[in-house]
Amino acid sequence: MKTVSILIPAYNEKDVLNLLYERLKTIMDSLGYYHFEILFVNDGSSDETLDIIKAFRNLDNRISYLNLSRNFGKETAMIAGLDYAKGDAVIILDADLQDPPELIPEMLRYWEEGYDDIFAKRRSRAGETWFKKWTSSTFYKVLKKISNIPIQEDTGDFRLLDRRCVNALKNMRESQRYTKGMYSWIGYKKKEILFDRDPRAAGETKWNYLNLLNLAIEGITSFTIAPLRLSAVFGSVISIFAFLYMIWIIGKTLLFGNSVTGYPSLMTVILFLGGIQLLSIGIIGEYLGRVFNETKNRPLYYIDEYNDERNNNEKEND
Ligand code: UDP
Ligand code: MG
């Protein structure tokens, strides 16, 4: 019998967990020929999320959980889950029911047909403002243009990954993770299925525009060095113009003498160049920061407690 792990990162999700479990249970019970493991990753929730998960666990031994030592963010919660998931396939699902678990049977069907990465693409984005939709679509357009890998648009982390994709992702231990790009980067046979993304069932989104901006910068800096190249190109173009301008000024001074004018043009040039220089230094700094973070080579997360299906309760302390 094949094992399928359902990986659910959860951060302060006490309001939705009951509904989530009910819907998952119906689906798991209808797919009797698989062995399911629901792996909750409690990402340092400050509410009763962990207690609720533990209560489910007492009712249903298909449930296991991983309690991280603090809130590490969804990207890290996911890699932690992938490290511990036992399944031949892993399905990543948001806790808030924005990813309908009812798609799981379809994903499993394609998996049986031999696809390795079956991802759910949003047909519509109910409950999101036009501004969020617009910013996200422009971001993908830009990212697609400047990086060499096709990032799947309107796709989240809701997908089924075959064991070999899971192993590939597990090998990528970078600390600042942009998993969305990694799915494309690893390759393997992909299949897209369409769905309508619902608004969150309860609770609040943890994203704000600052997070999204950070994620966007993460996405760009972890997958392309195009901004560095762009600042080099900018520098070269400006140098060429500066050189031509210099020749013109020298020639003019030699021919017509120097009448001290040109304060506006001087200011413009200084400010413009100053701006470009600061921007370029900022871009270099962004990449340098990544290098700094990666060279520390820290573990990605720490586990407070892991409780798997077979009822081994391990308290991890290193
Ligand atoms: N999440 C997490 N750690 C965090 C933030 C979020 O594990 O620091 C989980 C959250 O519980 C949910 C999923 O990531 O299962 C998606 O979060 P959310 O719904 O807030 O994001 P959105 O759907 O708005 O992109
Ligand atoms: Mg959500």
Best residue among 70, 97, 158, 206 to mutate for probing ligand 1, ranked by most atoms within 8 Å of CB = 206
Averaged pLDDT for residues 63-92? 93
Residue owning the nearest CA to atom 23 of ligand 1: 205
Report the alpha-carbon distance of residue 101 to residue 26 in Å, rounded: 10
Over residues 222-251, the pLDDT tens digits come to 878 888 888 888 888 888 888 888 888 888
Over residues 168-188, the pLDDT tens digits come to 999 999 888 888 889 988 989
pLDDT for the residue 318:
44
- Distance of CA 284 from the midpoint of ligand 1 (Å): 30
Question: Nearest-CA neighbor of 169 among 117, 219, 211, 220?
Answer: 117
Question: Nearest-CA neighbor of 78 among 151, 180, 4?
Answer: 180
Best residue among 78, 94, 129 to mutate for probing ligand 1, ranked by most atoms within 8 Å of CB = 94
- Distance of CA 204 from the midpoint of ligand 2 (Å): 8
Report the alpha-carbon distance of residue 314 to residue 318 in Å, rounded: 12
pLDDT for the residue 236:
83
pLDDT for the residue 250:
83
- Distance of CA 73 from the midpoint of ligand 1 (Å): 8
Report the alpha-carbon distance of residue 117 to residue 292 in Å, rounded: 32
pLDDT higher than 90, residue 260: no
Task: Establish how many alpha carbons lie within 13 A of residue 26's alpha carbon, considering only the half-sphere containing its beta carbon.
Answer: 9
pTM: 0.80
The beta strand positions in 95-222, using DSSP E, are: 117-125, 155-162, 190-197
pLDDT higher than 60, residue 313: no
pLDDT for the residue 301:
93
pLDDT for the residue 110:
94
Question: Domain residue spans in the chain?
Answer: 3-133+149-206+299-310, 225-296
Report the alpha-carbon distance of residue 80 to residue 86 in Å, rounded: 12
- Distance of CA 10 from the midpoint of ligand 1 (Å): 7
DSSP-derived letter for residue 151 is P
Ligand 1 neighbours, Cβ below 6 Å, are 9-11, 13, 43, 71, 73-74, 77, 94-96, 98, 200, 205-207
Closest ligand, as measured to the CA of 53: 1
Quote the Cα angle for 123-126-127, to 5°.
Answer: 155
pLDDT higher than 50, residue 317: no
Over residues 135-166, the pLDDT tens digits come to 878 888 887 787 777 777 788 899 999 999 99
41: which strand partners? Answer: 9, 66
Task: Kindly state the tokens that stand for 99.
Answer: 């990813």
At 239, which helix (H) or strand (E)?
helix 226-256
pLDDT higher than 70, residue 314: no
Closest ligand, as measured to the CA of 45: 1
